[in-house]
Each structure stands twice: as structure tokens, then as C-alpha cells.
Amino acid sequence: MRIEFISPKWKEPSLWSIPTFRYPPLSLPTLAALTPAEHEVAITDENIAPIDFDQAIDLAALTVMTPMAPRAYEIADRFRERGVKVVLGGMHPSLVPEEAARHADAVVIGEAESVWPSLLDDLKRNKLKKIYKCDAYPALEKLPIPRRDLLPKKGYFTVNTVQVTRGCPFNCEFCTVTEFFGNQHRMRPVEDIIEEIKTLKGKIVFFVDDNIVGNPAYAKKLFKALTPFKLQWMSQGSINMAADDELLELCAKSGCVGMIIGFESLSQDSLNSAGKHVNQARHFKANIKKIHDFGIAIDGVFVFGFDHDDKSVFKRTADFVIENNLEACQFSILTPLPGSRLYHRLEREGRIFDRDWSKYDVVNVVFEPKLMSREELQEGLLWTYQQVYSVRSIFKRLLGSRNYPLLYLLFNLGLRKIRRMLVAPTSNFQKATPVR
């Protein structure tokens, strides 16, 4: 059979369409590697190249995050009109399978490893089932190396995205990772990671883990093994890494140029209500200084719109970021992703007013906030991006931290563009009135 793996285009404005931030969807090279060699496979990322709807294929397999769902359904419907079978998988179809099933011949719920080969067998025998569910979390030993050779050669910042762990022991109200991957931190053997690293071209790697330091003993073993490769890598990690000097030292030595850290909020009330107990806001300042002192830059993630957030949250957050010299930051609007506990609560409270999934991209307000208006929340996001990515702020932060200033200058100039994208006439960003 001929199988086309497809990632739908995400709607603008998207930070991720800025060249410095373009990463390939790792799910597709992973699925291609899981496909038995008897089948012909190809990958199209619609963010890089258009989809050929006329090609002769037996199966279109799409990976879907919530904000891409409307586009994914359009693509699926078009292929199905021509009689091409369509399978949908990934976070969104797994969390709302009944909806996805209206646009697909089969929906895969959960991780593909345990069901993909049997789905292909069923298709070959013309016995495709509507739903395939991964009942047990697959073992992560000896996973095949993702087929990065199938990815477009140009257009990405790097194709070296590698996954080391799955699952998260926390269960933040706004997040779907624990619902999807479970509350156990599952780790790939370090030896397998090293075999994969050896196949990569270039020295830049993005570990797509939710918390690469979630198990400190494992992380230390991994960092020691990575050190000889002289990589420059980034990943996501929780702020409590600041408590472990040995971890920070090994992390920096292994080539970590920056950690994406979910601070989420400066308000402990908001952190507590979201269930992010690992974050203690009163220690943030000291934690940042400690991580910086080990030469690790920080890309901080902050969320606006919690029930404890009033209009003052924007200035407080911008001041904090600038004062503490965070090298980069991403600001998001609290978003009730379907399947999350937040979605169910806001639904019960009758506060979700927009169900256009393309707006569930964390820069649009889709629910009624408690202590400010929708417009104030929307405009506050833009205002914060404007403050934090002003030329003055960029220089203050980068000269203050001195961790990889040239690299982060590039990142900051990329992130500066999101300010313009958010107000562009073609933007999907909801129009708002200025904050007073």
C-alpha cells in the first residue's frame, strides 16, 4: 500500500510558522518507522509544502492537535471524497474520538506503537475498524528510529527533535498530557537515545519532552551520556530542577543552551487552583538566578486568564520577566483544551463561548474570564508581548543574563514578530479593545 502521512497547516498567527521556531511533527517520522517495509511511505507537512490531493495513495494518515482539527477534517473529507481511506490520530482525535470519527475511516486513540501494525493488516484485508484504542501504554524500549529521512530537507529550524520520556506525574487542570500519556513518567533506555543521537546530522537537538528532568536520576545518567557528543540542545523542564546542583551542572555540561520552563503564573493561588503544585512562586526569583548561574538560559512560559487573574497580571508578569532577565518568554491565554479538566469545569460553569477549534491555539480567548473582560484578556496578551519584546527589554534581558546572547537575540527577533502577527488583518486573533 502507499501511505501518505500528513500534518495539517496551522492557522496564523502562529509563532511556530516563524522560521526560527519551525519543528517537524515527530509523530509522522515515528509512524513511518513503525510501518512494515512492504508499504511505501511519504510525509507531507502542510506548513512546509502543499498537499497533493490527486496522488494515487491507499491511505492518508493525519496527526492532529486541537487547533489544526478544522483543517485536518477538510483534508480528510477531500481524500475520502476520492475514495482514499483516512486515519486520524494524535492528541485531538484521541480526546474527542466521536467527533474525529465523522471525518475518518478509522481513529486511533492514544500512542500508535501498539496498534499501528494491526490497523495496517486490517486495512489490507479490507477489515478496517472505526476505532483503535491503545489499551496499555506501550513499552519504550527499542523503539524504531524515526524516519527523519522522509522529512522535507528545507524549511525547519532543525529536524532533530527527539523524545526521551512520555507521561507526567502531575495533572495540571489545563493540560491533556496526563490524560493522554498517563501519570507515570516512562523513560526510554539511555542507550537507545544514544543510538538515535548517533544517526542525527548536526549538533542542534530539541528534546520534545514535557519534563526532561522529571526523574533526576535518569536525567543525570542521560546528561552524562550526552556530554561527549558536544550537542547544543533545548528541552522543557520543571522549575524544581533548581534544587539540584549536580543535575544543573551535568545538564549545562551536556550542552543545554536553554530550558523551556512553565512558570504559568506568579500567583500561588492560580498555581494551586491549576494543580501545578511543583511551582512555588515565592521561590521563582531565586530559582531563576540559580539556573542562570549554571549557564542555562530560560524560555519562560506564562498563562493568563486564571480565575485569580485581574488586569494587573500583565504588568506584573512583564515586569518580572524583564527584572529577572529571562532570555525568552512565551505568553498564552488559558485554553480549555477538550478532554482537560479545565474544559469540563468551564463547560459545567457555562463559560465556554467559542467552539471553533482553530482558536484553541493559546492566543485566542474562548471562555469567559472571571476578573476581567474577554477583550481585556485578549488585549493584555498583546500588550505583554509588546512590552517584553521591545528593543529596550530585549537588550536589558540579554545583557543582564549573558547566556548565549547571540542565539537568544535571534530567538527574540523571531518572537518580536508575533506582536505584528497578532494584529495583522489576516490574523485569526480575536479583535480587542486596548487595556486601560
Residue numbers at the binding site for ligand SF4 (CB under 6 A): 168, 170-172, 175, 177-178, 210, 262, 276
> Least distance to ligand B12 from the beta carbon of 206, Å?
7
Is the distance from CB of 288 to CB of 397 less than 8 angstroms? Answer: no
Q: How far is the CB of 180 from ligand B12 (least distance, A)?
A: 7
User: Which partner in ligand SF4, ligand B12, none is near 233 (CB below 5 to 8 A by kind)?
Assistant: none
2, 16, 195, 289: which one binds ligand B12 (CB under 6 A)? 16
| Alpha helix (H) residue ranges in 336-427 | 341-348, 374-388, 391-401, 405-423
> Which of ligand B12, ligand SF4, none lies near 63, with the C-beta cut-off 5 to 8 A by kind?
ligand B12
Nearer to ligand B12, 53 or 395 (CB): 53
Q: In whole angstroms, give the CA distance from residue 58 to residue 73.
A: 18
* Binding test (CB under 6 A) with ligand B12, winner from 18, 48, 57, 61: 61
- Tell me how far apart the alpha carbons of residues 238 and 297 are, in angstroms, rounded to a whole number: 14
Residues 159-178 contacting ligand B12, CB under 6 A: 161, 163, 175-177
Cβ proximity to ligand SF4, 275 vs 400, nearer residue: 275
**Beta carbon nearer to ligand B12, 164 or 266:** 164
- Residue 74, C-beta contacts closer than 8 angstroms, at least 6 positions apart: none
CB of 274 to ligand SF4, least distance (A): 8
Burial code (b: 16+ CB inside 10 Å, e: under 16) for 79-93 equals beeeebbbbbbbbbb
Q: Per CB under 6 A, does 23 bind ligand B12?
A: yes
Q: Which of residues 158 and 324 has its CB atom nearest to ligand B12 in the complex?
A: 158
b/e sequence 319-355, b meaning 16+ C-beta within 10 Å = ebbbebbbbbbbbbbbbbbbbbbbbeebeeeeebeee
CA–CA gap between residue 433 and residue 34 (Å, rounded):
49
- Rounded Cα gap, residues 245 and 251, in angstroms: 10
Distance of alpha carbon 295 from alpha carbon 257, whole angstroms: 8
Q: Which residue is nearest to ligand B12 (CB)?
A: 89
Q: What character string, x for contact with ligand B12 (CB under 6 A) and - otherwise, covers 339-378? A: ----------------------xx----------------
